[in-house]
Structure 1
Amino acid sequence: MKYLKRLLLLIFVVYLLPTFAAAGLWAMKDRPGRWSEANWGSAHILPEPQSSDEAAVYIFSAATGGLKGAVASHAWIVTKEKGASSYVRYDKVGWGSPIRRNHRPPDAYWYSNPPQLVAQAKGAEAELLIPKIEGAIAAYPYSEPGGYTIWPGPNSNTFVAYVLRNVPELGAVLPPHAVGRDYLPDGDFWHVDADGRDLHVTLRGILGFSAGMRSGLELHFLGLVAGLDFANPGIKVPAIGRIGI
């Protein structure tokens, strides 16, 4: 009983307390009441695609809308081929065709929330990565209508995390509030990234851990992530995100 109480206290302090804090801060924000009132326009983060001939890859994440915006974010992928005059954006959504192409501007607000840049690659590096990214997108196993479950997954973050695991050269993991990122396809219990540098163990994205060069050390509980980032020193706080040291 003593150990159970300690475990429950640990769960409360590490996972629930930050979640309640994030929910309180979210409740005080002025935000749109419905999706039709939200800003979905460009945040003007990316340069005009015609301004450079070099290839580029960007991974974005932004807080989502409604009550879930207090603890969860939405991620997407943007690419630009060498010499291209436009960007290509890929999202996994829960309505219509699940993987959308260019349904919003590449750096758009999401439910009026500004996007955060998770990772980027440019020039020759991006030229090599884009075919791999497109291959991973084509291979994503939940790309058909109906292949979306808001929690624990597969959802929008499951899609982007799948691409990042299969194209580890991007050198990134999604932020701790990207709920659904740790859901592994086909009910797999474990996965080693393509380059062997990160291990993921999970029970349907609900309970598990990740460890490695990119993930650092993470513990997952009900889709919430707590951990330590070693590559870019910091802590990963459930519902809040990464805090750098």
Structure 2
Amino acid sequence: MKVLLVCLFTLLLLLAGPVFVIASGTASLGVDWSKADRTSVGLAPDPATTPEAVVQVYAARVLSWRGAFGVHPWFAVKPAGARAYTVYEVIGWRVYRGMPAVAVSHRDPDGRWFGAQPMVLAELRGAAAAAAIPKIAEAAGTYPYAGEYRIWPGPNSNTFAAWVARAVPELRLDLPSTALGKDYLGTGLFARAPSGTGWQVSLFGVAGVLLAAEEGLEVNLLGLTVGVDPLDLAVKLPGVGRLAFRPDSPTPVVVEGEAKPQE
């Protein structure tokens, strides 16, 4: 009986964040996907005035109730001198229609994800970006779950983001705690952290632990992440994302993702 009560209490704690997100209106409920805003928000450098190579990693809340739990990530790359960006991402409906999960397109790199505001999680410019672009393309082409898609516990779009990030450690990508599916390792148990600065162990994406310099300490329970990032004075909560303690604010600040300035 005590074990059951502990399990129920833990589940309620894990779901408190997503419930808060729905109550606060952060998750887009009742939105018609066919009419949702997909326009650019101005976060991507204009190719017309930016000749150097650019790599950006974005994430935005998923449409409908799923947005209370997670985000959708994508990689946007522009080689030096290119006039447009190439976007790499995994989209579930493609699998359901018999197509590969990985989509490669020239859509707006910083377009809203069905109305949700995107955030930049990582960025490279110049020579570093030029070196990373072929690695991203190769990782996207060798993604092992191109014929599979599961919202929970994976593989999904966040599993793809973690896969690419491990292949391009110079991104030092700290995926948000809301990147549900990032810890899915298939039949494997051990892997490098997506940032490349530590390691993780995960049981089918349902339970696991991650320890890395960039991400800090994360515990995965039922696919939901709870963690602490001591170097950035932040905690990570399911649904909510990052709760940062900043010297310029008397109270903790909720930051939806783990976006950090690049060095």
User: TM-score normalised to the size of structure 1?
Assistant: 0.89
Contact kept in structure 2, 1:41 and 1:105, CA below 8 Å: yes
Shift of 1:31: 5.3
**2:219 corresponds to:** 219
| Match in the other structure for 2:174 | 173
CA distance in 1, matches of 2:90, 2:194: 22
Give the distance between the partners of 1:84 and 1:104, measured in 2 at CA: 14
Aligned to 1:16: 15
Does 1:142 pair with 2:140? no
Deviation of residue 78 (structure 1)?
0.5
Range with bigger deviation, 100-109 or 56-65: 100-109
Q: 1:1-245, aligned counterparts within 5 Å?
A: 5-6=5-6, 8-13=8-13, 15-26=14-25, 33-96=31-94, 97=99, 98-102=101-105, 104-144=107-147, 147-184=148-185, 186-193=186-193, 197-245=197-245
Structure 2, unpaired ranges of 5+ = 246-263
Gaps of 5+ in 1: none
Q: 8 Å contact 1:32–1:38 — kept in the other structure?
A: no
What RMSD, in angstroms, separates the aligned Cα atoms of the two structures?
A: 2.2
**Structure 1 CA distance, aligned partners of 2:43 and 2:8?**
42
Identity value in percent = 36
Map of 2:257 onto structure 1: none
Residue type matched to 1:152 in 2? Answer: P
Letter in 1 for 2:180: V
The separation in 2 between residues aligned to 1:137 and 1:30, in whole angstroms, is: 29
Equivalent residues of 2:31, 2:64 under 8 A apart: yes
**Distance in 1 (alpha carbons) for counterparts of 2:39 and 2:122:** 21
CA contact (8 A) 1:31 1:112 kept: no
Return the letter of the residue paired with 2:201: V
Maintained 8 Å contact 1:40/1:104: no
Whole-Å Cα distance in 2 between the matches of residues 18 and 196 of structure 1?
28
Q: TM (normalized to structure 2)?
A: 0.83
Change (3 A) 1:219 1:85: same
Distance in structure 2 (CA, Å) of the matches to 1:51 and 1:174: 29
Classify the secondary structure of the residue corresponding to 1:95.
helix
Letter in 1 for 2:127: A
Residue 244 of structure 1 deviates from its aligned partner by 1.7
Shift of 1:3: 6.7
Number of residue pairs aligned between Structure 1 and Structure 2:
240
Q: By how many angstroms is 1:2 displaced?
A: 5.2
Give the secondary structure class of the aligned counterpart of 1:75: strand
Counterpart Cα distance in 2 of 1:90 and 1:210: 25
